[in-house]
Amino acid sequence: MGKRVLIATWGNPSFWNEVEYNFCGQIHKSKTSLLPLIKALNPDLVIIFGLDTIADINPTKELTYKSLKESAEDKIRKFCQENGIFNYLPEKRVIIVIPPGGGYFPSSTFLGKLQDFYHVVLHELITIFIEQIEIQHSTKYPDKNKKDFLEIHLDLTHGINFMPALTYRAIKELVQIIDIFSNVHFFVYNSEPFVFNSSNRSPLTIHPVEEETKIRPHFPHEYIEDNGSNKISLLKPITDNYDKKKALIGSNITPLDINTFFCALFYGLPLAIYTFFIEPNELKIIIDNATNLFFQKIEVSKENTVVIVKRELSFTEEFAIINKAYLLAELLSNQGITQKDDISFDAFTAMADSVFKKFLNIRATIFNEKHYFSKYIFDKSKPEWKSVIDICQPDLNGKKSQPNPRNFIAHAGLEKTLTMIRKKDGNFFLKYDKTKIDIIKKIANKAIKLKD
């Protein structure tokens, strides 16, 4: 069955007036465009993104950042209760998320990078999608008549300043990944603006701004530069006096590991996907550690009657990259893919109809390799592991042939000097030569860096 998710960006609902909204010809009286959308769409889940800046601040009371976030969330939850949201949707199906904002206000100042809002939204959406939404997938081409889809509806009516652009960016990047495995429909809405003291009180129409029933599936292919430490920096200090080493999150995962994983997916290399697969939990641990440290390093202080909320750290672009890798690893795990040094040839070709079912060029390459191996390699394979190059060219007389990076990409990762094969119980198995793993990683690293 399909899933329908309604996402909204909200400023401060305390200042909203009741108006008439027109959505699909139906008139609704409400203080928010979210209510008519809920009535019409009947979503399975609603996600509201607010801001920490809308918290009620009393400078006379002791404040922590946790209490500020709770205040902002309580304000939105109370508004939902008082304005009928929970009459049409159970409260447990409404998730309220409070990312960090920024700006100067009469009783408070919030200091930090606005990009942090995007990173928190991206992280929270991935967490919600993984934990609460069963992403449908098929081993065949999508059937438009079947409800094996995920619908995402985004209402930008109440979003202020940077919120709509950064939320849209995060969602658009995610739907392109999810659509690899599922069928995603994406809709964006925005209402006509409310004008104070206007004599024209006609209903405000909620307009569809974007309707995409055909998403272009897209593997992320960002490249992580090694800064010399062989570590991935998910956080960076905002102030110069902060010790940069304290912002590093310890992990055995290196930039080379992520680049190799992305290369295997982007270019369609099934054996490399299994060989260099990164377990989701390994990624989740470093993401959670970075997120916890980010929020721990938010200072709340007072200057006279003004409360100052200051973030010492900011998320890096690598934080977004690792989150996307985490989502991909989870989606691949759902299809039974895990780290393996050797796989059957059937598992190799099966990816053409699962992970790469919507990528026709990659599918064709995988099946071309199947045809080549069936015609020239299988009959010569033995129970013991043997290099494919030795089977193809036995007349080399022990001379070493050098790996060809172009062939590695062009032949779905089955470069002859790097790949080994054996026959066991009537089945054929593939693996990479263990002595050449570092060579493979270097080829993949260069390929993903030069992908554009």
- What span, in angstroms and rounded, lies between the C-alpha atoms of 219 and 356? 10
391-426 burial, b for 16+ CB within 10 Å, e for fewer? bbeeeeeeeeeebebeebbebbbbbbbbbbbbbeee
Can you give the pTM of this predicted structure?
A: 0.92
* Adjacent-strand bridge partners of 204: 21
User: What is the reported pLDDT for 145?
Assistant: 44
Strands 45-49 and 3-9: parallel
At 354-395, the pLDDT tens digits run 999 999 999 999 999 999 999 999 999 999 999 999 998 877
Residue 148 has pLDDT above 70, yes or no: no
**Which of these ranges, 201-205, 374-378, 444-448, has the smallest mean pLDDT?**
201-205
- What span, in angstroms and rounded, lies between the C-alpha atoms of 350 and 412? 13
CATH architecture of 3-212: 3-Layer(aba) Sandwich (3.40)
Mean pLDDT of 391-405: 77
Tokens of 264: 């295997």
User: Higher confidence at residue 199 or residue 421?
Assistant: 421
At 405-432, the pLDDT tens digits run 999 999 999 999 999 999 999 999 999 9
**Residue 427 CA: distances (Å) to CA of 281, 374, 378:** 32, 12, 9
* Adjacent-strand bridge partners of 109: 104, 308
Mean pLDDT of 335-349: 96
User: What is the reported pLDDT for 137?
Assistant: 47
Confidence of residue 138 (pLDDT cuts 50, 70, 90): very low
Cβ atoms of 210 and 187 within 8 Å: the answer is: yes
Mean pLDDT of 197-207: 77
Tokens of 443: 């080829």
- What span, in angstroms and rounded, lies between the C-alpha atoms of 186 and 154? 8
Residue 87 has pLDDT above 50, yes or no: yes
* Residue ranges of domains in the chain: 3-212, 235-334
Mean pLDDT of 122-129: 96
- What order do you get walking across the sheet with 342-344 strand by strand? 342-344, 427-432, 419-424, 386-387
Tokens of 277: 């697969």
Residue 245 has pLDDT above 90, yes or no: no
Confidence of residue 320 (pLDDT cuts 50, 70, 90): very high
At 3-37, the pLDDT tens digits run 899 999 999 999 898 999 999 989 999 999 999 99
Confidence of residue 142 (pLDDT cuts 50, 70, 90): very low
User: What is the reported pLDDT for 278?
Assistant: 97
At 100-120, the pLDDT tens digits run 999 999 889 999 999 999 999
User: What is the reported pLDDT for 63?
Assistant: 87
User: What is the reported pLDDT for 252?
Assistant: 85
Three-state SS string across the chain, please? Answer: CCEEEEEEECCCHHHCCCEEEEECCEEEEECCCHHHHHHHHCCCEEEEECCHHHCCCCCCCCCCHHHHHHHHHHHHHHHHHHCCHHHHCCHHHEEEECCCCCEEECCEEEECCCHHHHHHHHHHHHHHHHHHCCCCCCCCCCCCCCCCEEEEEEECCCCCCCHHHHHHHHHHHHHHHHCCCCEEEEEEEEECCCCCCCCCCCCEEEEEEEEECCCCCCCCCCCCCCCCCCCCCCEEECCCCCCHHHHCCCCCCCHHHHHHHHHHHHCCCHHHHHHCCCCHHHHHHHHHHHHHHHHHCEEEEEECCEEEEEECEEECHHHHHHHHHHHHHHHHHHCCCCCCCEEEHHHHHHHHHCCCCCCHHHHHHHHHHHHHHHHHCHHHCCCCCEEHHHHHCHHHCCCCCCCCHHHHHHCCCCCCCCEEEEEECCEEEEEECHHHHHHHHHHHHHHHHCCC
Give percent of the chain above pLDDT 70: 90
- How many Cβ atoms from other residues are within 10 Å of residue 88's Cβ? 13
Give percent of the chain above pLDDT 90: 76
**Which of these ranges, 166-170, 247-251, 317-321, 445-449, has the smallest mean pLDDT?**
247-251
**Which of these ranges, 176-190, 231-245, 324-338, has the smallest mean pLDDT?**
231-245
